[in-house]
Amino acid sequence: MKVVKLTIQNFRGIRLANLLFDCHTLMVGTNNVGKSTICEALDLVLGPDRLNRFPPAQRTGDRRLGWPCCCLFGSWR
């Protein structure tokens, strides 16, 4: 499986982003544009301790908050 789409909402400095990934994706940009934030968002949903994390709403008590990141997966075809 591969990541086809990543949606980030209200995570660090990103208000809303829908990123589509092709077969190979390379992030290039100047400092402080969000490359590391995108990597952290991917780690949030794919990282090894993702199953032990609580949604932000459970940590802050605010029920309006949910997970800030969501991935769509596809096959390697």
CA 43 to chain centre: 7
> What is the pTM assigned to this prediction?
0.69
pLDDT at 18: 93
Instruction: Quickly tell me which residue has 């086809």 as its tokens.
Output: 4
Phi first, then psi, for residue 52 (nearest 5°) are -95, -5
Query: Which residues of the chain are modeled with pLDDT < 50?
Result: 57-65
Instruction: Give me the sign of the Cα torsion angle 37, 17, 24, 53.
Output: positive
pLDDT of res. 76: 62
